[in-house]
Amino acid sequence: MSMLREDGSRRVAVTGMGVVSGYGVGLDAFTEGIFAGRSAVTKITAWDASALPCQIAARPPDYDASVYFKNPKDARRFERVTRYAVTATRQALEQSGLSISEELADDTGVYICSGIGGLDTFHEQLYRAKELGAMKLSPFFIVNAIGNMPGGVVSIETGARGPSFCVVSACASSGHGIGEAMREIRSGRMKVMLAGGTEASCNEIGIGGFSTMQAVTFDFNDTPEKGSRPFDARRSGFVMGEGSAVLVLEDWEHAQARGAKILAEVVGYAATSDAHHFTAPPPDGRGAVSAMRRALADAGISAGQIGYINAHGTSTPLGDKAETQAIKTVFGEHAYKLKVSSTKSMHGHMLGAAAAIESVACISAFQRGEVPPTINQEEADPECDLNYVPNRAQPFDGEYAMNNTFGFGGHNAVVIYKKV
């Protein structure tokens, strides 16, 4: 089998995946949850949300992150958004069986992205400054607040000395991060990239901020598991989730030479902008249309070869309708043969980490021979009329899967994976 693509660029393998989600720590907990159609959304109990119109989220349970750090004390210095990223990275490297040696360090990069960054830190420290004065701020305030720090800490923890960037493009952040990491390997500049996303925004100002802009649902506080319902007629806004997912991307030849188990191949990527509105998509989904078409062209495949789309599918009235229209525009009659699901119905919308965790869902679909469902499909919307894999997983033997992520500001990222 050739180590190169037809255009002479390097092939890119996925050799490891790590996850922290509302289901807990670990890939198994995540995949068992989503393929069983079980919601990770619960009533918020980590703090008092009773004054807010949205009181539900999918937040990981507390766990001991110190076991994932070289120095356990560092786990206490960094906030959740960084702890999640380090945890997911350690798991991904363990599955990959990859050790970042001194010889490999300069050829290993880190693109771990976040849409918001250290929101806990902003929340806590701004209150502290107001009450006690700016000189009482924590010396770790800036370190924990800036969005690039999770990737920076992962680089320190793993010894990776290649490029370390944080793409910030709202909900498309980790889609762009994975795609750009793929390009680093394709070009031959890097042999390994640790790519993904992390987010920890399920706090008072996170939920409050999305509530005041009426982006999250207010209608399911008493039945949290029903709150995220993409493409359903009763959808009324998204449900926030948080956590991290990290992929080990590797030059195909390098992975084979060390005898790694290759989980999937990253074959296509595109990024576009809507140039329309800061939150709402264009009704015809033209930015998404362009991104999907360009990703197909990048992969060198036709629309008819895609078997599964893990949709952006946030459970917003406008977004789900626009994405459905975009899929119909790109895929034509094949759109009705596709399996299209939104796992956000179960793990919530993880913002900048969404594409990363949904990429894990795509790759797991290849491995399990089934696609995860969109739960809470109870009342059909005539404008959302595709096969959204309602409520139960469906068999899958396709060769290609597409992941869509579209962020506030009109940022679009599409990544395509191939079964191996």
Rg (CA), the chain: 20
**Beta strands in 131-191, from DSSP E residues, in sequence order:** 164-165
User: Which residue among 54, 113, 166, 171 is the active-site one?
Assistant: 171
DSSP string, 375-398: ----SBBTTB-S---BSS-EE---
Q: Which residues pair with 171 in a beta bridge?
A: 169
User: Which residue among 166, 202, 254, 312 is the active-site one?
Assistant: 312
Task: Spell out the residues 6+ positions from residue 306 whose beta carbon is closer than 8 angstroms to its own.
Answer: 296, 331, 334, 338, 398, 400, 401, 402, 416
334 contacts 8 by C-beta, under 8 angstroms: no
User: Which residue among 176, 254, 347, 349 is the active-site one?
Assistant: 349
Active site residue 171: yes
Spatial distance between the Cα atoms of 23 and 27, rounded to a whole number of angstroms = 10
242 contacts 42 by C-beta, under 8 angstroms: no
65 contacts 75 by C-beta, under 8 angstroms: yes
Spatial distance between the Cα atoms of 109 and 155, rounded to a whole number of angstroms = 8
Torsion from C-alpha of 202, 207, 213, 218, nearest 10 degrees: 110
Residue 343 DSSP SS3: coil
Q: Which residues pair with 60 in a beta bridge?
A: none
Active site residue 349: yes
Active site residue 54: no
48 contacts 206 by C-beta, under 8 angstroms: no
Q: How far is CA 216 from CA 55, 310, 321, 406, in A?
A: 10, 20, 17, 16
Spatial distance between the Cα atoms of 40 and 33, rounded to a whole number of angstroms = 8
Closest CA to 245 of 18, 15, 415: 18
Residue 115 DSSP SS3: coil
Spatial distance between the Cα atoms of 418 and 420, rounded to a whole number of angstroms = 6
Closest CA to 31 of 418, 383, 370: 370
Token duo for residue 63: 């766990």
Spatial distance between the Cα atoms of 225 and 22, rounded to a whole number of angstroms = 12
Closest CA to 110 of 221, 208, 242, 244: 244
Residues annotated catalytic, as ranges? 171, 312, 349
